[in-house]
Structure 1
Amino acid sequence: MSLKLRLLFIVSLILIINFFAAGYFMVQNARQAIAAEMVSSTQLARGLLINALPTLRFSNDLSERLTLIVDSVRHTRHIRAWFEDMNGQPLIGQEERMAFFNKPDAPDWFIRIMEPEAVAFRRLITKGSQSFGYLVVEADPSDEVTEVWRDMQVLMVLGGFFLILILILVYMALRQGLRPLGELSDALARLENSDFTARVNSGGAKELTPIQIRFNHMASVLENTMAENHALAGNMLTVQESERRDLARELHDELAPCLFGIRVDLGEIERIAIDNSLPDIEEKVSSVKLITTHIQSLVRKMLSRLRPMTLDDLGLTDALRDMLHNWRDRQPEIDWEWDFSGELNTLSDTQQVTIYRVVQECTTNCVRHAQASHVRVEVRREKENIKVSVTDDGRGLDNDSVIKGFGLIGMRERVSALGGRIAFDTEEGLGLQVRVLIPVKSED
C-alpha cells in the first residue's frame, strides 16, 4: 500500500472514530434529556390531575368532568391522558391513547436505543363505593425521538460531507507534498538510463530541499565525471586506433615485402636445386616456402584485426558493402539486406572504425550463433547523430549473454567511448536487434 493510501486510511479511521464517538455521546445526552423531560412532564400532569380529581365528588356529570380533566393535560408537552373502564377499554380520550402508540419517525434500532423506560400514572376513579375506571397519564417520547433522529441525520450528512472534504484536502496536500519524491524517482530513473543531465526542482516540502540539493550536486558530479570518462575513453580509442593503423602500415609496408622477397629468393634457390639435382635442398626449400606462406596468412589476419584495410581503400560506405557482399557469397542461405544513407565517409577515423567493427561483430554473431535466415543492416547519418541498426530473426539472446558476452561488451565500450549509447532488443527465440546511437559532435 502506498504512503498516500496509508495516510488517508489513518485519517479516515480517526475521523470515523471521532464521528461515532460524537454520535455516541450525542445519543447518551439525548436519552438522559428525554428521560428527564418525560419525568418532568409526567409529574406536572400528575400534579394537575391530583388537584382536579377532588372536583369529581361535586360533579353531577362524571363523564363531562373527566373529559374536562383529560382536556386539561391535552396540551401538556409529551403527555397523553385518557380514561378507561375497569376492563381496560378506553372511554374518554381514545384518540390520545391511540396516538401514544404511534411510532416515532425513526428506525426501530434507534427507537430501541433512545426510548426511556415508560413513565405512567394511573388513578382509580371512584364515587362513593362505586369504581368507574382508571384515569391514565403516560409520557410520550416519540416527538423527542424523532427530533433526535433528525439531528442525527443532519450530523451524519455533515459528518460524511466533512469526511470527504477533509480526505480530498489531505489527498491534495499529500500529492503536492510528495510530488518532489516522484520527480526524484523519475530523475533517478533517468540517471539509471545514463541520462546525467537529470535535475530536480528545489521546491515543495522544506524537509526535502536538502535531498534535492544533494541529488542535483550528485547528478552534476556524475555528469562531469562521465564527460571526462568519455573524453578520456575517446582519446584512448583514438590513440589505440592510431597505433593500430601505424602498426598495420608497418606490417604491410615492411614485413609483407620482406616475406615476398623471401618467397622470390626461395623460388630461385628451388630452381637451382632442381637444375643441379639437389633433392635435399629442394625439400628444405619447400618446407621454408610453406612456413613463409603461413606467416603471410598470419600477417594478413593480423592486419585485418588491427585495421580493416578496405576502410582506408574504399571508405566506410563501400567497406560495409564489401563486407556484406562477402557474407552473402559465403552464407547464401541467409537473406542479407542493407541500407546506408547520409555522408558516412566524412566521419572521423575513430567513428568509422567503431561503426565498421560494430557491424562486423553483429554480422559475425548472426552467422555463428543466431541461426538467422534474414539479416538487415542500417546505417544512417542524421544532423546530430549516427544511427546503426542490425536486426536478425534468429534465436535471440538471454540476459546472461547480453551482460557477459565478450563481443557485446567490446561493442558497448567502443560506443560508450564516443559518448554514444547501445541497446539490445531481444527475446529468446524471437531474434535480436542491436541499436547504436553515436553523436556526430564526438568526432571533434
Structure 2
Amino acid sequence: MCIRDRFEDMSGEPLIGHEKNSRFINTPDAPNWFIKMMEPEAVAFRRLITKGSKSYGYLVVEADPSDEVNEVWADVKVLFWLGSFFLMLIVGLIYIALRQGLRPLELLEDALGQLEKGDFSARVDTSVVKELSSIQFRFNHMASVLEHTMAENHALAGSMLSLQEEERRDLSRELHDELGPCLFGIRVDLGNIERVAAENKLPEIEEKVESVKVITNHIQSLVRKMLSRLRPLTLDDLGLVDAIRDMLHNWRDRQPEIDWEWDFVGEFHTLPDTLQVTLYRIVQECTTNSVRHAHASHVKVEARREHESVKVTVTDDGVGFQADLVRGFGLIGMRERVSALGGRIAFDTAEGRGLQVRVLIPLKGNDKT
C-alpha cells in the first residue's frame, strides 16, 4: 500500500510544495475505467501540528491504492490471457469434435452424389452415433435395393431383347418353312391349271383348283396363328373375360383329362388396352406351362378387379419347381410385362406340389395405357 502525505494550513489548503508530495508515488498501469471501478473511497488521517499554544496547520496522511489497483490489473491481464488461451483451446476442440461428428454426414453426401451419377455401389460405414447409424443403415439398404433393381432391370432388358429376337426368329422360320412352300405349291398348281386349261382337261383343272384351296386355307390358318401371337384377335372381338373363357374352353377341348376351373369378379371391359393384353398373355403363358411342363390334372384361373388394382391368380397341381429357379417357361416374359406396368408377380411353388402365380397390377398410372 502506498502512502501519500501533505501539509495543509489551518484553512485546509495544501501548502506550497506539498500539493503532490508523497513518500511513494506510483504511476498507474491500469486504465482509468478500471481504476474508477476498483479504487476504494479515499480515507485520510489529519493531525494538527502545534507548538505550545500556536497551531501551524495539519499533517494529512492518506492511502494511495494505485499499487493494489496495478496488482489487480496485472492479475486481471494474466487471467484474461489465460482465459483467452483456454477459450481458443475449447473452441478448437469443439471444432475438431464437430468436424469428426459431421464427417459421416459429409460421407453420406458424397455417397448421395455417387447415387445421383448412377453409381449404385456406393456405401457408407455405420457410425457409433445411434441417430446417424440408423440413417446410414437405411441409406445402405436403399442403395442395395437400387443396385439390385437396376441389375434386375438390365437383366430384364437383355431378356426382353432375347425374347424379341427369338420371336422374330420363330416368325421368320415359320414364314420360310410354312409360307414359302405353300406359295411355291400355289405357283406350281397355277402353272398346271394354265397348262391343262390349254388342253381343255376339266377334271384335272378341278383337282388343281381344290389343291390351291387347301393350300390357301393352310396359309390363312398360319397367318391367323401368327397374328394371334402378335396380338390375340379374340381380345378385340370378345373382350378380356370372354377371350380368356374362350381360351380355357379350347384347352378343355384339347385336354379333357385336365379339370379346368375359372372365376372372374368385377368389370374388366373398361380396363386399358395394354393392361388387358398383359393379363391375357399372363393367363395364356400360365395355362400353357401347366399343360406342357407341369403335367397338371387341375388348373384354376381367378381374376378380380378391385378399386385400385387388378389381381390374377393361376394355380395348378403339377410337378412344380424350385422357387429360387424361376426362369424359363416364359416366366421372365411375364415378369417383364408386370414390371412394365408397375405391378408385382409372385411364384409360390416347390418340387412336387404345383405352382401358383399371383399377379397384382395397380390401376393408378395405367389408366391411360
TM-score when scaled to structure 1? 0.41
TM-score when scaled to structure 2? 0.49
